[in-house]
Structure 1
Amino acid sequence: MKTEAVIFDLDNTLINRKLAFRAYSEHFIDRFVTARDARQKEEFIEFMRVSDRDGYRDKREMVQECLAALPMKNPDMTVEELLNHWFAEFYGYTVLMDGTLDVLDRLKQKHIKLGLITNGSPHAQNSKIDKAQIRDYFDTVIVSGEAGFHKPDKRIFELALSRLEAKPENSWYVGDHPRNDIFGAASAGLNAVWLQGFMEWHSDLDEPKHRIGSLDEIIALIDNT
């Protein structure tokens, strides 16, 4: 198979959102929350991780829950203040996944078209992309909040293929979410590759045809297919 295009998910695929959220949580607690010792701080960090639901929780709901459950240094702290802090600060903690730049460079050297599809708001996702300084690698970047539909809707994958002028059977999609990424991409006819280690596989879905344990494994998979 001659590969025409490789399309990537963003969070927990090209950037390590899990590490970014951990770093932000530590900052959040140091600034806003009273923790009596390191052990309690870890408990609060875990509370925030669960509340966030891997980024799939409405942020207003998340900060409301944190405000209600965590002992704030300022008892008059408001949801709006915490929400504003999130939108001002979180994206600065964006960190690349190990191997991201090397993989993108190697694919570019092979003259393969590159795409990026990510669910989320334009502000949030574009802020991460620009903080990571990876926008120039891609021939197309699609954010669901701008496109009007989101993964796993196959239309968002078809839009990327159209912009890349690539056939689905000659294209790959790499992501971490079993339903949004792998099921969605496969439904659109792409060769879907599950990046393991961030989400459990959904038991109601067929097992993925392709899986990798680290981002750089996509190169060998493409070369050997």
Structure 2
Amino acid sequence: MIKAVIFDLDGTLLNREESLKIFISNQYERLNESLYQLPKEEYVQRFIELDNHGYVWKDKVYKQLIREFSIQGITCEELLEDYLNNFKENCVPFPNVLETLERLKQNNFLIGMITNGKGQFQMDNMKALEIDKYIDTILISDWEGVKKPDPTIFRRACERLKVDPEECVFIGDHPKNDVKAAKEVGMKGVWKNNRQWEKVKADYVMDELDEIQTIIQHLNSVSS
């Protein structure tokens, strides 16, 4: 019987790619006095390429941008500080995020969050999406001292929710860090399709978040 639903954040609840495009465009405008010699389209496109779907930390991204484009008048530390302070203002959720979380709570499911990243940064993003109030336990790799796909962080979430792994569904967009890792500790692994990978070995694949209700009903009907 499924008792808990645990989510990844970036690429699952937070539409990170859309949020990043909006942020980096706004950053260029905000810091135009230092960046004006570089065409906006080039700055935005190269940032997105270097970011690599969030798997390259931004200090490296900004250092590379400064080197490639010979940016002067602003440091990578200042650009990074702007990112840390302002990304949250550009957060875009996927469709049906709040409705899905609300319905899960109404149906008495526990809700967890496991996300890699910087602690306060990720927490600020959750608050910007207004999802933090629905979540019973939040594990952020920076604060936990361990990150996905390490099984420790998945087991720790179960302990805090007081459920067994077999009573959990984990939903994420990364085949290895999310789906495979969750399945290996005994959870049901659901892949949030982002069309970046193909042939992901998941228990279920979903395109929209509100499909989770149907998935849980199927799982519970099979186990009963």
Q: What TM-score, normalized to structure 1?
A: 0.89
SS of 1:166's equivalent in the other structure is coil
Q: Name the CA distance, whole Å, in 1 between partners of 2:37 and 2:4.
A: 49
Matched residue, 1:54: 53
Q: Name the CA distance, whole Å, in 2 between partners of 1:71 and 1:26.
A: 19
RMSD of aligned Cα (Å)? 1.8
Confirm or deny that 1:171 pairs with 2:165: no
Matched residue, 2:157: 160
Q: Name the CA distance, whole Å, in 2 between partners of 1:110 and 1:102.
A: 12
Code of the aligned partner of 2:52 = R
Match of 1:213 among 207, 215, 218: 207
**Offset of residue 198 of structure 1:** 5.3
Matched residue, 1:41: 40
Q: Name the CA distance, whole Å, in 1 between partners of 2:22 and 2:70.
A: 19
Code of the aligned partner of 2:18 = L
Quick one: structure 1 residues 177 and 35, their matched pair in 2 at CA, closer, same or farther if it must change by over 3 Å? Answer: farther
**Offset of residue 42 of structure 1:** 3.1
Quick one: structure 1 residues 222 and 91, their matched pair in 2 at CA, closer, same or farther if it must change by over 3 Å? Answer: same
**Offset of residue 86 of structure 1:** 1.2
Matched residue, 2:141: 144
**Offset of residue 28 of structure 1:** 2.1
**Offset of residue 169 of structure 1:** 1.5
Matched residue, 2:65: 66
Q: What TM-score, normalized to structure 2?
A: 0.90
Q: Looking at secondary structure, tell me which structure has more helix per residue.
A: 2
SS of 2:108's equivalent in the other structure is coil
Matched residue, 2:126: 129
Code of the aligned partner of 1:133 = E
Code of the aligned partner of 2:158 = L
Code of the aligned partner of 1:211 = V
Q: Name the CA distance, whole Å, in 2 between partners of 1:163 and 1:133.
A: 22
Matched residue, 1:18: 17
Does the CA contact (< 8 Å) of 1:34 and 1:71 recur in 2? no
**Offset of residue 166 of structure 1:** 1.2
Matched residue, 2:26: 27
Code of the aligned partner of 2:208 = S
**Offset of residue 130 of structure 1:** 1.5
**Offset of residue 118 of structure 1:** 0.6
